[in-house]
Amino acid sequence: MNVKPAGATIRFYRRPQCGLCREIEGPLMSAARRYGVAVQQVNIDEDRAAWALYWDRIPVVEIEGGPTFFEPIDAAELQAAIQKAARTR
């Protein structure tokens, strides 16, 4: 599921079978909807460049103009970064 853009863009690097990815997906998508930020989900199994960068680090959340989060991802810190990114756009 992708959220339509109103501000910054977030890239969520994941794998379908990744339990840690599923854990952070809920808080990520909830915050993105709340603040009107687009989320582009990237399945690293289908993207060679993404796989080369992140195969051993997923989930990875990259916020345009902001920080990049690697596991372990704190949901409260992620939400604060999304809120900040939405305000700066």
Number of domains in the chain: 1
Residue 2 lies in a domain: no
Task: Decide if pLDDT at 4 tops 70.
Answer: no
Look up the pTM and report it: 0.89
Residue 62 lies in a domain: yes
Own/partner pairs, 53-57, CB within 8 angstroms, 24+ separation: 53/13, 54/13
Task: Decide if pLDDT at 72 tops 50.
Answer: yes
Q: What is the CATH number of the domain that holds 64?
A: 3.40.30.10
> In whole numbers, what is the pLDDT of the chain averaged over residues?
91
State the pLDDT at residue 1: 46
State the pLDDT at residue 88: 79
Residue 35 lies in a domain: yes
Q: Which residues span the domain enclosing 48?
A: 9-83
- The letter for the amino acid at 11 is R
The residue with greater pLDDT, 44 or 89, is 44
Residue 14 lies in a domain: yes
